[in-house]
Amino acid sequence: MPMTFTLAAQPPADVGVLGVPVYAGLDLPTGAGAELDAGWLAERHFEAKVGETVVLPADDGSTIIAVGVGKRGEVTAETLRRAAAALVRAAWHDRAAATTLLAAGPTGLDSAAAAQAVAEGAALASYRFTRYKGDPKPCRLESLAVVGRGDAARRGLARGARVAEAVSMARDLVNEPAGAMTPSRLAAVAAEAVEASGGALELTVWDEVDVVNEGLGGLAGVAQGSDEPLRLIRLSYVPDDARGHLALVGKGITFDSGGLSIKTADGMETMKTDMSGAAAVLATMAALPDLAPHVAVTAIVPATENMPGGRAVKPGDVLKIRNGKTVEVLNTDAEGRLVLADGLSLAVEEGVDAVIDLATLTGACIVALGPNVAGLMGNDEGWTGQVRAAADRAGEPVWPLPLPDDYRKLIDSDVADVKNISSGRYGGALTAGLFLKEFVGDVPWAHLDIAGPARSGEDDGYLRKGGTGYGVRTLVELVASFEKPLA
């Protein structure tokens, strides 16, 4: 069950666990709600680093958890997320807790954003994927009373809880074994979201025959080697007062063996996560009816496995994409860009004001930016600026990368319009972005290469080992704040 959040003017008398923020230097914010002995904390080497905790049993049987929030002038929304996550970890075996973390919110952060951050951090820290565990040991913390006042803070808590629920949904989709989370199952998840939306979402699903008939040669080609049937999923959210139309495209490779350009055994171990872009897009769409943004959103998810079957696409084959361009396939392990080419072409046909795609696309992006930062590319500086600003507010790190015109020749093909890998050894994330750019025309487009942050190799703060749900918070924030890019 998702954790519940309430806003309280003071810690409830029947809650025996209180999380109290402490600044570096063992200084307490005004309104922290408890007297703490700085000497006692210092004896235990507590420095109040962000996310550091120490438990103080009280004489009356209650428990105070001191939670570090770092230096007084450096607290951000991300600080509050990590602090709330640390509190949940410390109170893991309790049923209920309260916290005065909002007292540490910086002056420049409004109460709604601060409360949202606390709810997100707490709820996401409690996440566990336990479906296949015989003894799951889930988090026992069911409710968190957040001390604060005002309708804005109350709305922030509700929004944070809903966003965290969407992130958890994306994590579940990614963490499922590939044998269970097939393209057909992804389509069923979309149908479940439509049913839960009460008519706010609409769904269209294309099967293999539809995809071939509609000219989606990239998706059809990648799917040839798999016994699992492909799916093209289209979800739409159209409020009456929409101020613009945005398209979300998510790479939905539910398992990537590499195809005939087969990966190593080690390289396949985490390839059930190759549909992380699709998971982020589907989870975001599921949340929109509750969050009610004033923007029309169309989501397109091309979903398939990439397998080395007898009918699999071969190096040297040529595929024709929806927009009419042909692609020479020289490496079948560069398949994500092939299905995205069809997805982006369809998005452009929708007449949208802007497009963003999310994909675990290249190992080169991880080499460039490490495992925690997504690469941001696009064809319109104003639009990529909107995306970066939304990601910054959401607390999901991105970094802009260029799409140099003189690198375009590296994907020239001798027999087709383009080839799916570069003729050079370097800049693989950039040439992949340049490939995708071929399928968006003049529509403002942004590409997030999430190969690194889509998966965590360890528990860290509010992240859990496995799928992170990266991108959901950015997409929710982007939709909420969307402005049509200037022509």
* 378 secondary structure, DSSP code: E
Q: Does domain 176-480 have CATH number 3.40.630.10?
A: yes
- CA neighbor of 186 nearest in space, from 231, 223, 228, 224: 231
Residue 51 token pair: 């996310």
What percentage of the chain reaches a pLDDT higher than 70? Answer: 100
Confidence band of 460 (pLDDT split at 50, 70, 90): very high
pLDDT digits (tens, 9 = 90+) for 55-99: 998 778 899 999 999 999 999 999 999 999 999 999 999 999 999
- Report how far residue 236's alpha carbon sits from residue 258's, in angstroms, rounded to the nearest whole number: 31
CA 401: distance to chain centroid?
A: 19
Chain mean position to CA 300: 16
Tell me the two tokens of residue 83.
């602090």
Please report, for the chain, the start and end positions of each structural domain, with discontinuous segments joined by +.
4-167, 176-480
pTM over 0.85: yes
Dist. CA 28–CA 468, nearest whole Å: 32
pLDDT of residue 449: 98
**Which pLDDT score, from 0 to 100, does residue 58 have?**
79
Query: What three-state secondary structure class fits 399?
Result: strand
- Collapsed DSSP state (helix, strand, coil) of residue 21: strand
> Average of pLDDT values for 161-181?
98
- pLDDT for res 36: 86
pLDDT tens-digit map of 392-425: 999 999 999 999 999 999 999 999 999 999 999 9
Question: Given a cut of 90, is residue 1 above it in pLDDT?
Answer: no
pLDDT of residue 57: 84
Q: Would you state the pLDDT for residue 123?
A: 98
Taking a C-beta distance cutoff of 8 angstroms, is the pair 104, 51 a contact? no
Nearest to 31 by CA among 97, 104, 121, 119: 104
Does the structure show a pLDDT above 80 at 367?
yes
What positions carry a catalytic annotation? 263, 337
Q: What is the CATH number of domain 4-167?
A: 3.40.220.10
Quote the pLDDT of residue 2: 85
What is the number of H-type helices and E-type strands within the chain?
Answer: 14, 20
Alpha carbons 427 and 12: distance in angstroms, whole number: 56
E strand or H helix that includes residue 449: strand 445-449
Summarised one tens digit per residue, pLDDT across range 462-476 is 999 999 999 999 999
- pLDDT, greater one: 29 or 157: 157
Q: Note the pLDDT of residue 35.
A: 80
Q: What is the pLDDT of residue 107?
A: 79
Q: Could you report the per-residue pLDDT of 222-268, keeping only the tens digit for each?
A: 999 999 999 999 999 999 999 999 999 999 999 999 999 999 999 99
| Percentage, residues of the chain above pLDDT 90 | 93
Q: CA 17 → CA 243, 318, 422, distances in Å? A: 45, 63, 57
- Tokens coding 410: 């590296």
